[in-house]
Amino acid sequence: MSSCARTGGPAMSERAPGRDDGATLLVTPDTRRHDGAGPTERGFLLFKPDTLERRLLQDCVADIARAGLRVLEQHPLRLTEAQIAAVWSGIDPGRRPLTAGLMRRYLSAGPSRLVLVDGPGATARLLALKSAIRRRHGAVYYANLVHSPDSAEEARRELAALLDGRYDPDARFRPTTATWHGWSMETVEAALDRWWASVPEQRGRRPTHWSPPLPAASHRVCIYAKRHWAVAFDDMACFLAETAGVGEPEFAVRAGFAALYDGEGFVLPMASAKAAHDTCRTVRAFGLIARGPGDSGQSGHGTGTDRRPDPRE
């Protein structure tokens, strides 16, 4: 993929190929320059469909000025699958089909807005601003309001795809393998379609309850993802479905989000206290947090039905 930066010569403005909305793309010899205020970088924030759907864009753009950065341009976009594949090239849909499928549906579901900015230390400031926006307004794993590149080089590469038309138009952000964890990709895609159709109001907000329905039991295990979780969402979701004995990818997605966001985590009924104890041990070995009846390894006392502080904190 070609970079949108050019070497040598002064900064210039040119029409982005394939665009008919009159928007222009500023092309610079580099994303860094020096002026009287010190080292200045050029970067961008990509506000995703939930930011516009929730009418947060104006406040978020105002945050840019408060962060000491200057807005250069705004570009309305409707992301294509090929652009999604170019910008999020670090995600392998063959290994993470749930993540890729959720992102593909979410990012292409509505308009986005790219805001091009510059200022001293823009890359670091934009990353901090991205985190602050997500914390303030709440964000779901796949619907997290805003994207910002991790480096100036990433910014150049991603701008080439987003504004300059420099990407493979035939690229796809979906698996090329036939199966994943024993599920056919057709089964996975159908499950994600059902999930997406059932939660339109949840795309940009955390609902109060994600857990899939399970029978009540006298013993149970509450499973949580760690606050700074290192386990890939797809692996976590598949593990939870296997632990529950449910071979259905939509169940896996719901269980994964319950572990991330539900107050009680993903609640798994158990036939006995011993089964709960054994499950807790398996869950912790996998890298998640587990609470079971009489669990002395967690804060609080009593059974797993007690209301205790969120162990993710």
Domain boundaries defined on the chain: 12-162, 208-313
pTM value is 0.80
Percent over 70 (pLDDT), the chain: 81
> Which residues face 14 on adjacent strands?
25
- Place 313 in a pLDDT band, splitting at 50, 70 and 90: low
DSSP single-letter state for residue 159: H
Cα separation, 179 vs 187, whole angstroms: 9
Q: pLDDT for 277-308, tens place per residue?
A: 999 999 999 999 999 987 744 433 344 444 56
Output the pLDDT for position 68. Answer: 92
Q: How far apart are CA 144 and CA 131, in angstroms?
A: 10
Location of structure tokens 């796809």: 172
What is the dotted CATH code of the domain comprising 12-162? 3.30.70.141
Q: Which residues pair with 116 in a beta bridge?
A: 44, 73
pLDDT one-digit tens code per residue, 10-28? 232 333 333 334 343 333 3
What pLDDT, on the 0 to 100 scale, is given for residue 201?
53
CA-based torsion, 51, 53, 56, 61: positive or negative = positive
Q: Where are the beta strands (DSSP E) in 107-190?
A: 112-120, 146-147, 179-180, 183-184
- Asked if residue 149 lies in contact with residue 198, where contact means CB atoms within 8 angstroms, the answer is no
More confident of the two residues 64 and 9:
64
CB atoms within 10 A of CB 231: 16
Q: For 36-131, where are the E strands, in sequence order?
A: 38-47, 70-77, 112-120
Mean pLDDT value across residues 183-195? 95
107: helix, strand or coil:
helix
Q: Of residues 151 and 11, which shows the higher confidence score?
A: 151
Over residues 248-259, mean pLDDT: 94
Q: Under a CB-based contact definition with an 8 Å cutoff, are residues 219 and 213 in contact? A: no
Q: Provide the pLDDT for residue 141.
A: 82
